[in-house]
Amino acid sequence: MRLANKKSENQFIRDKVNKMKQEKLLDKLKIFFDSDTREREKQKSDIKDILKKLKKRERKLKEKLEAENNAGKRKHFQQEIDVVYAQRKKGIKLIKEL
């Protein structure tokens, strides 16, 4: 009887240790995935800030384009607007993927 009791006590201790190991592992995984989520949120925030700056730049370029009479300069402004527009679209697509 004593031997059976000793075995069940040892099994109980092993189960307890295994459970503790599993909990530690789960805690480490949780920390890992939470940091990944925080990193993605920070990237989204940074990209949104850049997109706001690009939008502002695009508006200023459009104002310059409307005020300009020289065809060469107008073409240059339009090319810059097209580049900024493409950059903004790329940033929006990236945010949606994150």
Q: Residue 67 carries which side chain, given as an amino acid letter?
A: A
Number of domains in the chain: 1
- The CA distances from residue 50 to 7, 41, 91, in Å, are 65, 14, 8
DSSP-based three-state secondary structure for 67? helix
Q: What pLDDT shows up at residue 32? A: 77
Residues 26-53: tens digit of each pLDDT: 888 887 777 777 888 899 999 999 999 9
Query: pTM (2 decimals)?
Result: 0.61
Domain carrying residue 17: 2-97
With a cut of 70, say whether residue 4 has pLDDT above it. no
Decide: 50 and 97 in contact? Cβ < 8 Å.
Answer: no
Confidence band (pLDDT; 50, 70, 90) for 64? very high
